[in-house]
Structure 1
Amino acid sequence: MAYADLRDFLAALDRNGQLLRFTDPVPLEPDLGAAARAVSNVTDRGPALLFEDIDGYERARVALNVVGSWPNHALMLGLDKDTSLKEQFFAFARRADAFPVEAERVGTERVGTERADDAPWREHAVETDINLFHLLPLFRLNRYDAGSYIDKAAVVTRDPDDPENFDTQNVGIYRIQVKGTDRLGIQPVPAHDIGIHLRKAEERGENLPIAIAIGNEPVITTIAGMPLAYDESENEMAGAVQGAPYRIARAPLTGMDVPWGAEVVIEGEIIGGVREIEGPFGEFTGFYSGGRRQPVIAVHRVHHRTDPIFEHLYLGRPWAELDYTVALNTSVPLYRQLKQDYPEVVAVNAMYTHGLLGIISVRPRYGGFAKAVGVRAMTTPHGLGYCKVIIVVDDTVDPFNLAQVMWSLSVKFHPAHDLVVLPDLSILPLDPSSEPPGISHKVVLDATTPIAPEQRGHFSQEVDQPAGTQEWENRIKRLLT
């Protein structure tokens, strides 16, 4: 199911009726941001949008909402577009267990004066008079964004203290503000791998080399937003998830390993010790994040394919493409980490605002067990900065079925016994409810059935499904498809 590049995936979407092409001229603003917002408003089975004629540009193309629905997400995994969310979760989790799958570096052997199987993004290179506004169809997504952003690029950096260690090379997704023709602002969180790399570079009195790959096939951008351990390679996890070695190519100026099939690759360096105001920006929380002093990138070289496709990600009030993109890549790591300590964990749904709210189904062993699982979720690497509200349900409740979750919460949760409040824990500063920014109370809501030694309520006569229900479910599914 491995896709060669973004174009290959767009073709797969097209074959499955999940791509809309727009050939009429379209203004950059406000139309592209409005279209990306609108497609999520209209349907939860939204197609990708490909704009092929952008006002003011001769050849620019823009792709939006590429993984902006569960059918598109299923196709990314090589599954039938009608695969249920729960099935996609377990497929993702099974594949993640195959990690690591060694990456395949392509284009390193010379044949005469040419490189064998050169990456397509090396077709054109711009090294002087760089003007990102001419090279890319840049636009604001939301009305009060401080400027144009690049927000779905695979950003690659290396550990300055161990630059040859492939495992600690990081591929991440970060918001990048275009601040000038060859100058960018970036928001690296200090606890993230890029933040660690930048701190080490600045301690050495150095700049941090960086490569930014725009317009990639969807698996690497999904994995780039996945909370992996510092020494776990995103490229090797991408290989596990797609079921084949992930193809990478060496960026010539920085030496970074970037996706072989990228549309555009920007090379430069984060300038050590320099901070400038970046933002405001309409964030995934549904609120503007305000301006903060953030690092600055000097752009030294831009590579691009002929007629490149600029892929963009809409952010705003959920649900939009970001929520589909980070849904399972957040849920699966939490599931794997919790299951190491608690094999009774059945599934984890951390899809809501990047895991600020999560739902865990568990098979409790004794009274109070579910509460312990909920608290543990808050101490995982991702949970430390997210996981503000955790709802724990029984293993008989599908955490991806909100109707079942709300039923469980409404009849099993007792406010006097099942609410755990943990004061003043860490949270990402972008959470608009945190006070001060980065600090928040967190809560666990235990919506599991009380078991010994807890003795309360009247839960002994739960209504069961009629015999044969599962067979009828399968029969109706076949008829519907």
Structure 2
Amino acid sequence: MAYSDLPDFLSHLDNNGQLLKITDTVKPEPDLGAAARAVSNLTDRGPALLFNNIYGYEHGSVALNVIGSWPNHALMLGLDKDTPVKEQFFAFARRWDDFPVAVERRDDPPWREHTMDGGINLFDLFPLFRLNRYDVGCYIDKAAVVSRDPDDPDDFNKQNVGIYRIQVKDIDRLGIQPLPTHDIGLHLRAAEERRENLPVAITIGNEPVITTVGGMPLTYEQSEYEMAGAIQGSPYQIATAPLTGFDVPWGSQAVLEGEIIAGVREIEGPFGEFTGHYSGGRRQPVIQIRKVSYRTNPIFEHLYLGMPWTEMDYTLALNTSVPLYQQLKRDFPDVIAVNAMYTQGLLAIISVKQRYGGFAKAVGLRAMATPHGLGYCTVIIMVDDTVDPFNLAQVMWALSVKFHPHYDIVTVPNASVLPLDPSSDPPGIIHKVVLDATTPIAPETRGHYSQQVDSPMGTREWEEKLKGLLR
């Protein structure tokens, strides 16, 4: 299922009826952002959008909503486009178990067709535009950003590939938001302690697996490239960036190389964020671009985000859920599944087989201490192993009849959360909560739960039969 590059995946989407090519002339603003918002509003099975005729730009095109639906997400995993979300989750989780898969290095990346060492003007290279009307400016928000640990630059596993919002501040200067919990935030802190700039390589227009893995909350020494190989089932292809020497995706449309300037901070934002609110302006680091390598007529891939659901939510739904599942299951084999698809895991639903009274609450608290949970997971809903956490009707039933407001709520005061959470006060601090909607068991015995209705015999067989007939 490995895709060599973004055009290869777009072709696969096209062959499955999941790519809409728009040849009419469109304006960068407001047409592109409006179209991406509209396709998310209409359906959860929407196609990717490819714009080939953009007013004011003679060359290049823009791709939006590339993984912006469950069929597109399934195709990213190499599955049938009608694969249900729960099945996609477990397929994703099984492939995690194949990590690590060694990379394949290549010397012939297509992005070496053109290079620029001076006179760089990003506005000439890409059709930049604002997504939402009150964004402070243009953003690059779906690039895979590569950085290395300044204290151990030769350790391949400490090289980070992450997705961060990047504001275009000038023709060759960018702003970036590296949160302290992000690996690039750790790299920047180490570099600034040494009073050094932090080199970075920003890769634009990638095939979807590395984009998906780049947004995963892996541990510090887990390689995104080796995880991408596990997810796609074959070695991930990388090449060497000419200025930084970093490992970057072989199939990128463009590679921007430069450095985060030590000690420099400028106002970045406002920006319409995944929380459905504008983030406001904050002092953030600045990147100076030194070299650009790119294909002829590159495809500029953009990610629309705003009020859920958008492509942001489909992209980060399972790549957030699966790491939480794997990290919790390592300590608690009783964890059955994790649904952290809502607002990037600010809310998560965890199903667990209870060992004893109070056990589910302990698992919920542990979720808050995972790498992702430290900055997210403000609300954890615990449900029984018989409740499907991906079936919201079942989750709401469990909350309706098994959650007791007096006994089943655990509050953690003044916990950490990402500052973008509009409910945090001060920004970055919030009370977190575990809502235990599991069936009480000894020694926590209360209520009347001894006669729960189960499914008729043969229900599972009929599920599979009807699934095939519906397809």
Name the TM tier (shorter chain). Answer: over 0.9
Provide, for residues 22-77 of structure 1, a one-character-per-residue CA deviation record: whole Å limited to 9, x for no partner.
01111000110011111110000111000011000112200000000111111001
Question: Does residue 94 of the first structure (1) align with residue 94 of the second (2)?
Answer: yes
Please give the residue correspondences for 1:385-464 in structure 2 after superposition, counting only pairs within 5 Å. 385-464=375-454
Secondary structure of residue in 2 paired with 1:30: helix
Provide, for residues 178-223 of structure 1, a one-character-per-residue CA deviation record: whole Å limited to 9, x for no partner.
0001111111112211111111111222111111000000000110
Q: CA deviation at 1:469?
A: 1.7
Cα RMSD (Å) = 0.8
Structure 1 partner of 2:300: 310
How many angstroms apart in 1 are the aligned matches of 2:415 and 2:188? 25
Provide, for residues 372-410 of structure 1, a one-character-per-residue CA deviation record: whole Å limited to 9, x for no partner.
111111111111111100000000111011111111111
Provide, for residues 314-355 of structure 1, a one-character-per-residue CA deviation record: whole Å limited to 9, x for no partner.
110111001111111111111111111111000001111111
Structure 1 partner of 2:237: 247
Secondary structure of residue in 2 paired with 1:386: coil
Structure 1 partner of 2:72: 72
What amino acid does structure 1 have at the position aligned with 2:345?
G
Question: Does residue 149 of the first structure (1) align with residue 139 of the second (2)?
Answer: yes
Q: CA deviation at 1:459?
A: 1.1
Secondary structure of residue in 1 paired with 2:29: coil
Structure 1 partner of 2:345: 355
How many angstroms apart in 2 are the aligned matches of 1:478 and 1:157? 46
How many angstroms apart in 2 are the aligned matches of 1:376 and 1:478? 38
Question: Does residue 264 of the first structure (1) align with residue 254 of the second (2)?
Answer: yes
Provide, for residues 80-127 of structure 1, a one-character-per-residue CA deviation record: whole Å limited to 9, x for no partner.
1111111111111111111111111100xxxxxxxxxx1001111122
Provide, for residues 144-196 of structure 1, a one-character-per-residue CA deviation record: whole Å limited to 9, x for no partner.
10100000000001111211111111100010000001111111112211111
Please give the residue correspondences for 1:128-207 in structure 2 after superposition, counting only pairs within 5 Å. 128-207=118-197
Question: Does residue 46 of the first structure (1) align with residue 46 of the second (2)?
Answer: yes
Structure 1 partner of 2:367: 377
Secondary structure of residue in 2 paired with 1:74: helix
8 Å CA contact 2:274, 2:307 repeated in 1: yes
How many angstroms apart in 2 are the aligned matches of 1:469 and 1:73? 28
How many angstroms apart in 1 are the aligned matches of 2:327 and 2:221? 16
How many angstroms apart in 1 are the aligned matches of 2:249 and 2:381? 38
How many angstroms apart in 2 are the aligned matches of 1:403 and 1:45? 20
Structure 2 partner of 1:472: 462
What amino acid does structure 1 have at the position aligned with 2:61?
R
Structure 2 partner of 1:216: 206
What amino acid does structure 2 have at the position aligned with 1:24?
D
Structure 1 partner of 2:326: 336
8 Å CA contact 2:2, 2:232 repeated in 1: yes
Structure 2 partner of 1:112: none
How many angstroms apart in 2 are the aligned matches of 1:258 and 1:160? 17
Provide, for residues 410-449 of structure 1, a one-character-per-residue CA deviation record: whole Å limited to 9, x for no partner.
1111111111111111111111001111111111111111
Question: Does residue 37 of the first structure (1) align with residue 37 of the second (2)?
Answer: yes
Structure 2 partner of 1:113: none
Structure 2 partner of 1:123: 113
How many angstroms apart in 2 are the aligned matches of 1:455 and 1:148? 57
In structure 2, the gaps of 5 or more residues are none
8 Å CA contact 2:203, 2:256 repeated in 1: yes
How many angstroms apart in 1 are the aligned matches of 2:400 and 2:356? 21
What amino acid does structure 2 have at the position aligned with 1:67?
I
How many angstroms apart in 2 are the aligned matches of 1:455 and 1:387? 28
Secondary structure of residue in 2 paired with 1:53: coil
8 Å CA contact 2:101, 2:229 repeated in 1: yes
Secondary structure of residue in 2 paired with 1:29: helix
Secondary structure of residue in 1 paired with 2:399: helix
How many angstroms apart in 1 are the aligned matches of 2:212 and 2:430? 28
How many angstroms apart in 1 are the aligned matches of 2:151 and 2:464? 55
Secondary structure of residue in 2 paired with 1:164: coil
Provide, for residues 231-282 of structure 1, a one-character-per-residue CA deviation record: whole Å limited to 9, x for no partner.
1110011011111000000000111111000001111111111111110100
Q: Which moved more, 1:417-426 or 1:145-154?
A: 417-426
Q: Which moved more, 1:463-472 or 1:251-260?
A: 463-472
What amino acid does structure 2 have at the position aligned with 1:150?
I
How many angstroms apart in 2 are the aligned matches of 1:262 and 1:462? 54
Q: Which runs of 4+ in 1 moved over 6 A?
A: none
8 Å CA contact 2:181, 2:375 repeated in 1: no
Structure 2 partner of 1:114: none
Structure 2 partner of 1:15: 15
How many angstroms apart in 2 are the aligned matches of 1:166 and 1:393? 39
Structure 1 partner of 2:289: 299
How many angstroms apart in 1 are the aligned matches of 2:432 and 2:261? 37
Structure 2 partner of 1:27: 27
**TM-score where L is the length of structure 1:** 0.97
How many angstroms apart in 2 are the aligned matches of 1:444 and 1:395? 17
How many angstroms apart in 1 are the aligned matches of 2:365 and 2:448? 26
Q: CA deviation at 1:291?
A: 0.5
Secondary structure of residue in 1 paired with 2:225: helix
Percentage identity across paired residues of the two chains: 76
Structure 2 partner of 1:234: 224
**TM-score where L is the length of structure 2:** 0.99
Structure 1 partner of 2:5: 5
Q: How many residues get paired?
A: 471
Question: Does residue 58 of the first structure (1) align with residue 48 of the second (2)?
Answer: no
How many angstroms apart in 1 are the aligned matches of 2:411 and 2:198? 41
